[in-house]
Amino acid sequence: MNLIGVISDTHSLLRSEAVEALAGSDLIVHAGDIGNPRVLDELREIAPLIAIRGNIDKWATDMPDTEFFEVSGRHIYVLHNIKELDLDPQAAGIEVVVSGHSHKPSIHREDGVLYLNPGSAGPRRFALPITLAKLDITASAVSAKIIELLGSDVA
């Protein structure tokens, strides 16, 4: 398992462009604000899924607020709002922190930790792009890229 599709803030909308972009993923991570459980069902049809709940997911009482998992020997931590990160990823041996919430896609490294926010793949908010991300993990490297989704907005 090396290619991880990362999506967040779908707010009940799973665009066909997102489904196409996630095809071929070995795993999909949803970083919260799912909106509707149907989105999770559709994502599971593409690849195995790890998902956490976001601040709008009041219905998802059985879902975790955070998730910690390992792929190819790399430790990954997922939470919805990066401002709620209450641990030191480097000290915890975490190599990738995935978050959502802001709808602003970003990739940066700090103290050897890759921080990834895939942005929002749901309804457009403000002038922000509609995006998701791909995370490529191997035993020797971790890299990420933001993918801008094209297509008409759906309200």
Per-residue model confidence as pLDDT tens digits over 8-47: 999 999 999 999 999 999 999 999 999 999 999 999 999 9
How many independent structural domains does the chain possess?
1
Over residues 47-86, the pLDDT tens digits come to 999 999 999 999 999 999 999 999 999 999 999 999 999 9
CATH number assigned to the domain comprising residue 82:
3.60.21.10
Residue 71 forms part of a structural domain: yes
Number of neighbours of residue 9 by Cβ within 10 angstroms: 30
Residue 154 forms part of a structural domain: no
Over residues 81-135, the pLDDT tens digits come to 999 999 999 999 999 999 999 999 999 999 999 999 999 999 988 889 999 999 9
Its pTM stands at 0.94
Strand locations in the chain, DSSP E? 3-7, 27-30, 49-51, 66-71, 74-79, 96-98, 106-110, 113-117, 131-137, 142-148
Residue 23 belongs to domain spanning = 3-148
